[in-house]
Amino acid sequence: MVSICHDANSRNNMGDCRQVYERGLKAIPFSVDLWIHYLNYCKTTFADDEEMLRSTFEKALETCGLEFRSDRLWDAYLKWETDNKNLQNITKIYDRVLATATQGFQTHFDGFCAHINNNPPSKVLTVDEFLTLRQEVLQQLRQSDSALGEAVTAPGDDTEAPPGEEPAEEAVIAVASPEETAKLKEKIVSIRWKTHITTKEAVQARQTFEEGIKRPYFHVKPLERCQLKNWKDYLEFEIAQGDAKRISVLFERCLIACALYEDFWLRYLRYLEEKVTDNTEIIRDVYERACTIHHKKKPNLHLHWAVYEEMQGNYEKAGEILTALEKVVPNLIQVIYRRINLARRSGDVATAADLYEHYIDKAKNRVIANNMTIKYARFCWKILNDIDRAVSILKKALEKDKENPRLYLQLIDMALQRTPVDESEVIGVIDIYLARENAELEQRVMFAQRKIEFLEDFGSNVKSVQKATDEFQKLLKQLQEKKKKSDDNKKQEEPNLKKTKSDQKDSSGPSYNASQMSQPPASTGQYSAPNYNQSGGYSQPPAQGGYNQGYNQQPPYNQQYNQQYNQSDPNYNNYQNWGYSQTGYGNYNQGWGGYNYY
C-alpha cells in the first residue's frame, strides 16, 4: 500500500496518492504505520494548512488512538504541535494521552513533566485554568507566610489601570515570584498524577492479555489455541469494564488477527445488536466485511445477516443476501426454506409458491423433493386456503413415488379436515396404498389398522368395518409369518457362523463378525414399521425392530420431528397418533447449526 502511494507521489500525482491512502485507511483503519505514513505525506503536501493537518491528526487518534500500541501516533502529534510551538495544544494532547491506557504510558507522563518544567505555566495552560490554579497556590502561600507577617498579592491586585478599565491579560497572568512558579508547576503535575496512576492500573490489568498477542496482524495460517483463548478472555475482560469505545477498538483489533474465525465476527455482531444505541450502520458494515471479504462461503454469517435485514424491514436486501448465498453454496436446505419463508413473511405468497415449485422440480433427491412437496401442500392448505390445490400437489407427487406412505398420510389428514368428513375420500386413499404390493408389509399393516379405526369412528356401514378387520388380520398374519421365517433363518445360520468364525482364526483370510452376518437383512424401504396395541394406537419404529405383539417404538433417525395434528373435533382424538417421521433432514432444524446439501 505504501509503495503504491510512493509510486504515485513520485509521478507528482497528488490526487491519486491521497486517494490510495484514503482507500487503504478505510480498509485497515487500525494500522498505526499506515496512519503515520499518511500524516507524513500530508505534512509534506499541505505544510501551510495547519487546520487541515490538525483535523487529520485528530481523525487518526479518533480511529486508533485507543490501540494499545498507538504511542507513535500520539508522539507524532505532539512533535508536530511542538514544532509549531502551540504549547497549550500540547498540554491538551497530554491530558488525553495520560488518560489513555497505552504501552508507553510512563514515557508520556515523563514527557508531560518535562513539558511543564521547561515552559512557563501561563503559556501551557488556558487563562481560566491558570487563574484558578494560581488562586489556589496563592492561598497556600498566604497561609504559610501569614505567620511571618508577609503579604501576598492576589492576581491583578498590584496592577494599576485607569479608572473603569480592567488590567491587561498579560499583567493578570504574570507570575510574581519563582516560588509561585514552582508551586504552580508542582500543582499542575500533581493533578495529572492521579490520572497517571489510574492509567497505570488499567495498563497493568491489560498487560497480560497484550503480551499474549503474538500475531496482531492478518495471516492465512491458523492461530494457536492459546492465541484464540487469549483473544476470547481479553474480549470478556474488556466487555466487563463497560467502556464501549475500548470494546469496539479491541473487537476491531481482534478481527484483524482472527478474521478467518467466524465465531469472533458473530460475537462482535451480537454485542452490537444487544446495545441500546442505534448501531445499524456499524452492524451492516461488519456484516459487509465478514460476508463479502472473509467468509463468502460461510452460510451461518449470511443467514444471520439476512435475518438482521429482515428485522429492520429491509426484505429486498434480505432476499438479495440469500440469493447471493445460494449462488455460492447451492442446494443448501436452510437457504431454500429461508428464501421461501422470507417471501411468505413479506406477504409475497405468489413468489413463495413459485419458489416451492422451482425447488421441487430442481430437487435431485427424492426424499427432499417429497419433503418440500408436503410443505408446499401445507402452504396451499393453511396459507392460501386452497385445499383442492394442496391435494392435487400431493397426487402429482404420488405419480413419481407411489409407495411413499408420508404422501398418503398427508392426503388422509387433509381429507379428515373437511367438514363433513368424506368417508369415500379417506378410504379411497387408504385402499390405494393397501393395493401397493411393492410397499413395505409393515406399512400396509399400519394403514389397515388405520382403516379400522376410521371406519369405527366415521363409517356408515358395519360391514365395511368387518371387511377392514378381515383385511387387517390377513396382512398381520403375513407379517407374523415373515418375522417367524426371519427368526428361523437366524437360528439356522448361528451354528454355521460359529464354525466359520473358528475356522477363520487359523486362516489368513479376512475376519467377519458373526453378529453382523446373523442379522436379518435390513428393509430396503425408507420408512419404519408401525407399533400396534389394543387401543389402536401405533408408532413408527425401525424396520428391523423385533415383533413381540407389537413393535418397539424407536425413532428411526437422530434428527426428525413428528407432525401431529391436535384437532378440535373430539372424534379425531383417536387419530392424533397418525404422525410420521420426516426423514431426509439429517441435522437440519432450520437453525444455525449443520448444513444439509442434496
pLDDT in tens, the chain (598 residues): 455 445 545 545 555 788 899 899 988 898 999 999 999 999 999 888 999 999 999 999 999 999 999 999 999 999 999 999 999 999 999 999 999 999 999 999 999 999 999 999 999 999 999 999 999 888 887 766 654 444 444 444 444 445 555 544 454 455 557 888 888 999 999 999 999 999 999 999 999 999 999 999 899 999 999 999 999 999 999 999 999 999 999 999 999 999 999 999 999 999 999 987 888 999 999 999 999 999 999 999 999 999 999 999 999 999 999 999 999 999 899 999 999 999 999 999 999 999 999 999 999 889 999 999 999 999 999 999 999 999 999 999 999 998 899 999 999 999 998 889 999 999 999 999 999 988 899 999 999 999 999 999 999 999 999 999 999 999 999 999 989 888 878 777 776 666 665 555 555 444 434 344 333 333 333 333 334 343 333 333 333 333 333 333 333 333 333 333 333 444 334 344 444 444 433 333 333 344 455 5
Task: Identify whether 87 is part of a domain.
Answer: yes
Task: Identify whether 5 is part of a domain.
Answer: yes
Task: Identify whether 99 is part of a domain.
Answer: yes
How many whole angstroms separate alpha carbon 393 and alpha carbon 360? 11
How many whole angstroms separate alpha carbon 32 and alpha carbon 69? 8
Cis-peptide, bond into residue 420, ω within 30° of zero: yes
Task: Identify whether 172 is part of a domain.
Answer: no
Cβ atoms of residues 344 and 353 within 8 Å? no
Whether 191 and 48 map to the same domain: the answer is yes
Task: Identify whether 534 is part of a domain.
Answer: no
The CB-based long-range contact list for 407-413 (8 Å cut-off, 24+ gap) reads: 407/370, 407/373, 407/374, 408/432, 408/433, 408/447, 409/578, 409/580, 410/374, 410/377, 410/378, 412/450, 412/578, 413/565, 413/578
Whether 4 and 54 map to the same domain: the answer is yes
Query: Containing domain of residue 462, as a range?
Result: 420-485
Whether 233 and 138 map to the same domain: the answer is no
Closest CA to 446 of 459, 456, 433, 457: 433
Number of domain units in the chain: 3
Single residue among 466, 485, 504 that ends a domain in this structure: 485
Single residue among 233, 267, 294 that ends a domain in this structure: 294
Task: Identify whether 182 is part of a domain.
Answer: yes
3-state secondary structure 137-179: HHHHHHHHHHHHCCCCCCCCCCCCCCCCCCCCHHHHCCCCCHH
Whether 231 and 281 map to the same domain: the answer is yes
Whether 183 and 256 map to the same domain: the answer is no
Which grid cell sits at 172?
A: 493578570
Whether 187 and 241 map to the same domain: the answer is no
**DSSP reduced 3-state for 535:** coil
Closest CA to 36 of 74, 82, 90, 87: 74
Whether 79 and 227 map to the same domain: the answer is no
Whether 107 and 37 map to the same domain: the answer is yes
Single residue among 165, 188, 205 that ends a domain in this structure: 205
Task: Identify whether 191 is part of a domain.
Answer: yes
Greatest alpha-carbon span in the chain = 130
- Rg value, the chain, Cα: 40
b/e for 359-370, b at 16 or more Cβ within 10 A?
bbeebeeebbbb
Whether 61 and 197 map to the same domain: the answer is yes
Give me the CATH number covering residue 98.
Answer: 1.25.40
Whether 230 and 108 map to the same domain: the answer is no
Whether 194 and 115 map to the same domain: the answer is yes
Whether 103 and 60 map to the same domain: the answer is yes
Task: Identify whether 353 is part of a domain.
Answer: no
